[in-house]
Chains A and B, each alone.
Chain A
Amino acid sequence: GDSVTQMEGPVTLSEEAFLTINCTYTATGYPSLFWYVQYPGEGLQLLLKATKADDKGSNKGFEATYRKETTSFHLEKGSVQVSDSAVYFCALRAGTYKYIFGTGTRLKVLA
């Protein structure tokens, strides 16, 4: 079945460091791919998305490129801030509106 695998956390970085959180997927067909962010005590917020191969989603300095050949959608940010500390979820949506989420990666940014 469809699945999402993302790197285990926590990821701890110093402020202004470069961030990469890896995400790979398994799916039949051509899923849409998403990154969500969850701050403590809150629900998930959509961070960015890509709906077809080679699309690049970007928002708030974060970006991710839909790579069909490597079935990946890695999240990157050039310079993280303390306020980016949260849990990040990679997700895919199969054709029938079914969303599959990864287990989440906790990011901790130190001042």
Chain B
Amino acid sequence: EAGVVQSPRYKIIEKKQPVAFWCNPISGHNTLYWYRQNLGQGPELLIRYENEEAVDDSQLPKDRFSAERLKGVDSTLKIQPAELGDSAVYLCASSSRRDRWEETQYFGPGTRLLVL
């Protein structure tokens, strides 16, 4: 079974430029998460989708961040414009909600963003 796929793996941009990250979850997983991981920290949730619906976006900085999950499969996270403080690793994870107590997140390799 293929894992969670993310692209690009690395991105270097200048501040005020836009950037987009793409995630393809594990087939059949209806829950998709985007996390931001700052250097030396644990992941922090940005947004969670159930199918195509964003059910928790309370931590997403909506002035510059946006996300979409068309057709409830792939997802894109965008930052426009990027700021220096956005430099981090952006992780995508997916899970299946078949059994609430057995639900397990599977993470992609992440996109490492550097804003200059």
Contacts and interface: CB of A to CB of B under 8 A. Distances in A.
6 contacts: A4-B42, A43-B109, A91-B42, A98-B56, A101-B43, A102-B42
A90 to B, nearest CB: 9
A45 B107 contact: yes
Contacts of A99: 33, 43, 45, 105
Interface string B76-116: 00000000000000010100000001111111111000000
Nearest to B110: A43
B31 interface: yes
A69 interface: no
* B interface bracket (residues with beta carbon within 8 Å of A): 20 to 34
Which secondary structure dominates chain B's binding surface? Answer: mixed
A7 to B, nearest CB: 13
A50 B107 CA distance: 19
A104 B38 CA distance: 11
Nearest to B56: A98
A58 interface: no
